[in-house]
Amino acid sequence: MSLLRVDHVDKSYGEERVLRDVSFEMERQDVEVIVGPSGSGKSTMLRCVNRLTEIDDGEIYLDGEEIHDLDQNDLRRRVGMVFQDFNLFAHRTARGNITLGLEEVLGKSHEEATRVAEDYLERVGLADQADSYPAELSGGQQQRVGIARALAMEPELLLFDEPTSALDPELIGEVLDVMHDLAEEGMTMLCVTHEMDFARSVASTLTVLDDGQIVERGPPEQLFENPEHERTRAFLGDLTDVR
């Protein structure tokens, strides 16, 4: 059974149809990269999967269960999210950003939460920054804390919404390296990113979204080398030229 099945999903804001009959499936350990022009509905698609945004029509299944039948807190634990602007709590240390969910959502003791948080900080190369506040960390370090915080909840699926777009170019690599390692360890990841080298080398599936519709979807090499649609060629060509 697919880990994620998005089935004929529609979403409008007022008169504007932002997602139009979107359907796709992800298996466990898949890494799906979604690309598309600004305003094409990429963030909305991700946000529908963990119900930060509610869909108007269609269904979304996580491991066979319709997400609207799940307890919302349970869904958010099972589907983690990493944001473009990190979304860290400014008044909590790196460790404290991670222990919060472990204690309040998972009910772990403070000692246990601290141990787990430090394990995950070590995994993202930040063992020595546990006591730092977000303002004391670089953007790349803050984003790695964001990833560690999401991972600590042991999600089944991780959503990434342009995780490197707010970073200075020299800090992008350290975040992509962490994402690369996660993919190799078998984490199932649904990523919106413009990092085409990452898409080429890590994604199992690449999806082009335009105006709320899937234009083309398939193995990245196929979309890069032999796209079926002119729209795909034009869009991937533009992104590849920029870098």
Ligand X SMILES: Nc1ncnc2c1ncn2[C@@H]1O[C@H](COP(=O)(O)OP(=O)(O)OP(=O)(O)O)[C@@H](O)[C@H]1O
Q: What residues make contact with ligand X under the rule CB under 6 A?
A: 13, 16, 18, 36, 38-44
Cα–Cα nearest to 163, from 172, 151, 154: 172
CA distance 135 to 126: 15
- Closest contact distance (angstroms) between CB of 166 and ligand X is 12
Q: With respect to ligand X, which residue has the nearer C-beta, 101 or 139?
A: 139
Give the binding-site size for Mg ion (rule: CB under 5 A): 2
Query: Which of 3-11, 41-49, 126-134, 206-214 is the region at the interface with Mg ion (rule: CB under 5 A)?
Result: 41-49
Alpha helices in the chain (DSSP H): 42-49, 72-78, 94-104, 110-123, 139-152, 169-184, 196-202, 220-225, 230-242
d(CA 240, CA 196): 7
Nearest approach in angstroms of CB 232 to Mg ion is: 19
Q: Is position 44 an interface residue for Mg ion (rule: CB under 5 A)?
A: no
The amino acid that residue 113 corresponds to is A
Shortest Å distance, C-beta 53 to ligand X: 7
Region binding Mg ion by CB under 5 A among candidate stretches 35-43, 52-60, 101-109, 130-138? 35-43
In angstroms, the first-to-last Cα distance of the chain is 38
Shortest distance, position 195 Cβ to ligand X, whole Å: 13
- Binding stretches for Mg ion (CB under 5 A): 42-43
